Structure 1
Amino acid sequence: MFPIMPGEANSLSGGLGDLRPNHFHAGIDIRTAQREGLEVYAAADGYVSRIAVFTGGYGNVIFIKHPNGLTTVYGHLKTLNDTLAQFLRAGQYKKQSFEIDLRPEPNQFPVKKGEIIALSGNTGGSGGPHLHFEIRDDKNNLLNPLLFGFQEIEDELPPFFEQIALQPLTPSSRVNGQAGRLPLTPIRRPNGDWVLTQPISASGLLGLEVLAHDRTSGSPFKNGLTCIEIQLDNREVFAYNMNNFPNEETRLINLHMNYGVEQLTGQRFHRCYIADGNTLDLYRYNQTRGKLPLFDGQSHEVTITLYDCSQHTTTLRFTVNPEAENSPIAKLTPSKLPTALFSSVEENTLIIRARNLPTATAPTAQVYLSGATLDAPVQYIRANEAYYVVDLQKHLPDSVQIGRTVLPLNFKKRILPGQSAAYKDSSITVTFPSESLYDTLHLAVSHGGNRVSINQGTIPLNDFFEVNFLPTEPLENSGKTQVYLVSGNRKSYVGGFWKENRFIFKARQFGTFQLLTDLKPPVVKILRKDYTAIVATVKDDLSGLDTIRALVNGEWILMQYDYKRALIWSDKLDPTKPFEGTLVLEVKDRAGNLTTVTAQLPPAPRPVAVDSAAVSDKEN
């Protein structure tokens, strides 16, 4: 049965396989009228196999194992029913931990279909009140709940396009005369047809990407797609089908979608070809693995068909014309401003962009390699900027010079996936275990002062790599100094530790890392303290909170925590026992700064003594 408001029409704010940061969405998000506290029902007979509490992610979550081998999951719960809540609370007190993952014995907590197991909420990483609901098989594959015949969800709406993109996949490939990725916006005509209004020309090997969504009836939220099919000249070259997927492979989403574009813009494009390292079993594809081979100088028709779970379809057809051969390089409008150089890496292609060149004819770029120099002629002009292309599979440049302007590139070494490897110089060692990479990495490293830059944050990683470097700038307090991933004004805690005069840290994302010192302890503000409850706000401005510990007369007290509201509140093991005596609240951040707040709790009101003799006289 439907796990919330069964028998009533409902809609979704998320579907199976929606593209999320570092994971495919594992189930459906059922709307709860923007409210918490709705009754959540067991979808079928079974027993509770797991109860957990996470600060982020699922929040409060219940897993139910069913006799047919399936497991249903209910996430972001506000509270559990009395029996399960008592078991959970006892486990938290025994471990003295808010976060916990409990596995009851089989049939310790049997449930019947339709039994109330919890109330819906907004705990964990939820962005608003809803019920997250999953169905898993006995191999932990995630199944699409909408294929189980729930009548509460109606879908009369077809999928829709937002954008598509064409990505040149080799240094010699071009689309509309350029080596970089070309986004395009389909337009929906009044008759319902989708078209591209911009002409397209291309040559070489291209990858097609799709940014598209679905909606269920009655919902404004964008959901994912069930299927995408790509045809080239009426022959299928690629198909993606999301009706189930293995939970342990969810991080491979970073190869399914264009991870670099997601990091830069937040847009999550489906790659409609198989990227190197992608082993997901969600596809059908031809001998080119879905890539479009446009080498013959002919026009080709591309057809994209989107499907939702109800088999509604949306189709876009467009023609790709051949690129003009031997087109002359356009002239520049000379500039008196200082020349500026920029670089980007797309697939295995290094693209150099030169702005404000002083001459009408773009000069040849000097690409400096280890012990050699490569002349790179301009490839094309766009918006009065000159573009140059270098094949990173052949060359790893140290820097590039155009005119008098030099751009450091800092490429050091190729690192292959599936092999342990390292780069080392006198001040830094970067180590990659065999499971770190999905694809060949053109390692770029720069280090100065207390800052280290390793490639760009647009390259996905499967697992952690390690950095061991020698800082050269003085530190205010090395004991409270750790590494942060920095981008603009954003600083994300990474951590690490000192070993003699060197600092060592592990990361699962590329970018710029900097040693920063956190001397400010967390800020704690008590909002309520009496015999019934303790409530406070807890905040930290840099390294982030590490531990929260509350004691009343030396006895550990469970504090529930909602990071979205920076709020903690007490949850008694024995609700009838009043809080009395001394409260000690300790909050520590990840740099080791500790804030301790001590307060006396007011005594609980005492029952008024009754004089039985006086009562007897009054009655007489």
Structure 2
Amino acid sequence: MKQLFLLFLFFSSFIVSSQEKYPKDYFRNPLDIPTVLAGTFGELRSNHFHSGVDIKTQGREGLKIYAAADGYVSRIKVAQYGFGKALYITHPNGYTTVYAHISKYADKIQKYVKSVQYKKEKYATGNLFFKSDKFPVKKGELIAYTGDTGSSGGPHLHYEIRSTKTENIINPLLFGLKPKDSKPPTFQSLKVYTLNNSSRINNQKKNFILTLKNTEKGKYLADRISASGIIGFGVSVFDRLNEAPNKNGIFSLEMLVNGKQFYYHDVETFSFSESKFINLHIDYKHYKKYKRRYQKTYKETKNKLSTYENLINNGRINIKNGLNYTIEIIAKDYNGNSSSIKIPIVGKESNTIFSKSKDSTNYKIIAKNFQKFTKEDITVAFPKNTFYNDLFLNFKVENGVAKIHTPTIPLNKSFTLTFNVSKYSEEEKQQLYIANLEYPKYPRYQYTRKKDSTFYTTTKTLGTYSLVSDKHKPKINILYFKNNQWISKRKTIKVKISDIGSGIKNYRATIDGKWILMEFNHKKGVLTYNFSDKKLLGSKHIFKIVVSDNVGNTNTLSTTFFKKQVN
């Protein structure tokens, strides 16, 4: 009971100190609907931690977004992927708020952004930076409308708070954003690991997934195990809020060994540069194989995340013969709702000898060195510290297909993969690209740089790669009207485009020979032009669109339409 009371005091004091560090009443809710989250800060994502909160917009686009506080629009970026349309406001208190996946900006900002797009004749603007006198805003002022642009999985607002000085991102809940949450996290699974050659679990040199029993709300009990040597644990865990069924991330994870804290991390703040270490924080191999993420309650040596606190032996537990242990793993959400697993362990040495199979590969990787290997017409080059640890690399080439180990090992840097293409004709080279063959039926285009006799790409993913030929032109279909049709009542032109090979690289659309802005919803494959952008002269017009894929196959569609100008 005393230990539980001390734990309560620890967590309560943490919350109080965090709240004192950040102003709770300075920022308002960026939306005027109740806050329900589709994603939490620090949530586990592919190759990164989630850098903000995703606020649900009731499945709708076009809700008003308001400036969270006084300040000025310091940056705008329009991109096809990532944040899509994003807006940044710098505030005088040392923070910057970020609003992403926007459908459109408030009128004066929207007018400026479109002027840039038409001047560049590009949808993507790149980063547009502004001084404080260009777009000053007041707290509660309309700045944009919610949407589904960029790499969004559905309509929502991605909202961030960053330190203006360091660019570190900080959990927006620490500033007073309050979704309703009275539900404790849910443990899905528990895994135990042998962490050196002499470690044993249940008399075996292997990792185990342990059975969990949910004894009461938020309380779990694992099967008793015997162990010896250095071991560690990992958990698959999520949290749900009151008004949403989706699975969110947790706020903190802690491990006690016989009541003593050995491991703790939380998602108060982190930097973008350290986000890649998520692949050392989780059981990356298990995730790549089975698509389930286990958060380790021990820290890998090369893991430079700043979110860990007060670790003992980096969370690694030395189980000694004849002693009994109770491990407790505690997950909490931001509101302090908690769940815990208890794991009973008996220390028992094993006399079983396991011989480690000798790796016969010739490709030894020394992580701190640059290494380059060539087989047949394919070369792989690994810069220094591409790998976190030394290893034997499995590198094979069969029928032009390069098998570079397996994608279950995380990389710190990108490596270069080069194909000698001197045996191909110029026409064949034009249609070739480098593809990832993780799913052989669906080759995935890798950005391919072409020289006279070599093609190369850079990637942070091991696996299977090959040259693939793409002879197919993209497809183009006008939606909702036909050639020589009157469309006076239509507000938009919509075009569906697709490509079955290397993928669409770019498109260019014109009306009467002048460039027009078509926004591409890549999830639906639909381009949209809004007639409100430009006033048309006369009633007869020619719409033309040219679409190219990543190897240069091009398709062109031209159609005539008639439209009376509506004043």
TM-score w.r.t. structure 1 length?
A: 0.80
Shift of 1:54: 1.9
Output the CA distance in 2 between the equivalents of 1:175 and 1:424. 41
Structure 1 equivalent of residue 545 of structure 2: 585
Structure 2 equivalent of residue 184 of structure 1: 210
Output the CA distance in 2 between the equivalents of 1:479 and 1:256. 42
1:4-56 CA distance string (max 9 Å, x none): 443x5332111100000011111111111111111111110010111112222
2:433 is the counterpart of 1:482? yes
Structure 1 equivalent of residue 181 of structure 2: 155
Which residue, 432, 438, 444 being the options, matches 2:388? 438
Which residue, 429, 445, 459 being the options, matches 1:507? 459
Shift of 1:534: 2.1
* CA 1:304–1:472: 2 relative to 1, 3 Å: farther
2:155 is the counterpart of 1:117? no
Contact 1:3 1:40 in 2 (8 A): no
2:170 is the counterpart of 1:170? no
Output the CA distance in 2 between the equivalents of 1:161 and 1:542. 41
Amino acid at match of 1:147: L
Structure 1 equivalent of residue 417 of structure 2: 467
- Worse-superposed segment, 548-557 or 476-485: 476-485
Output the CA distance in 2 between the equivalents of 1:174 and 1:471. 50
Which residue, 403, 416, 419 being the options, matches 1:453? 403
Structure 1 segment 280-319 matched on structure 2, within 5 A? 280-286=305-311, 288-319=313-344
Structure 1 segment 471-620 matched on structure 2, within 5 A? 477-488=428-439, 489-528=441-480, 530=487, 532-571=491-530, 574-577=533-536, 580-604=540-564
SS in 1 for 2:372: strand
SS in 2 for 1:477: helix
Which residue, 240, 265, 277 being the options, matches 2:302? 277
How many positions carry a matched residue from both structures? 529
Contact 1:304 1:317 in 2 (8 A): yes
1:106-130 CA distance string (max 9 Å, x none): 2300111011111111111111211
Structure 2 equivalent of residue 246 of structure 1: 271
Output the CA distance in 2 between the equivalents of 1:112 and 1:25. 28
* CA 1:288–1:450: 2 relative to 1, 3 Å: same
Between Structure 1 and Structure 2, which shows a larger proportion of helix residues? 2
Q: Tell me which structure has the larger Cα radius of gyration.
A: 1
Output the CA distance in 1 between the equivalents of 2:548 and 2:323. 66
Contact 1:449 1:471 in 2 (8 A): no
Output the CA distance in 2 between the equivalents of 1:154 and 1:511. 43
Output the CA distance in 2 between the equivalents of 1:297 and 1:221. 44
Output the CA distance in 1 between the equivalents of 2:194 and 2:540. 69
SS in 2 for 1:558: coil
2:2 is the counterpart of 1:9? no
Q: Percent identity?
A: 32
Output the CA distance in 2 between the equivalents of 1:559 and 1:606. 21
* CA 1:177–1:483: 2 relative to 1, 3 Å: farther
Shift of 1:324: 5.6
Amino acid at match of 1:133: Y
Contact 1:535 1:568 in 2 (8 A): yes
2:357 is the counterpart of 1:397? no
- Worse-superposed segment, 532-541 or 287-296: 287-296
Shift of 1:76: 1.2
* CA 1:432–1:282: 2 relative to 1, 3 Å: same
Amino acid at match of 1:429: T
TM-score w.r.t. structure 2 length?
A: 0.87
SS in 2 for 1:461: coil
Output the CA distance in 1 between the equivalents of 2:163 and 2:565. 54
Shift of 1:288: 2.2
Shift of 1:181: 2.5
Runs of 5+ in structure 2 lacking a partner?
1-26, 482-486
Shift of 1:307: 1.7
SS in 1 for 2:274: helix
1:586-611 CA distance string (max 9 Å, x none): 1111121111111223253699xxxx
Amino acid at match of 2:429: S
Aligned-residue CA RMSD (Å): 2.4
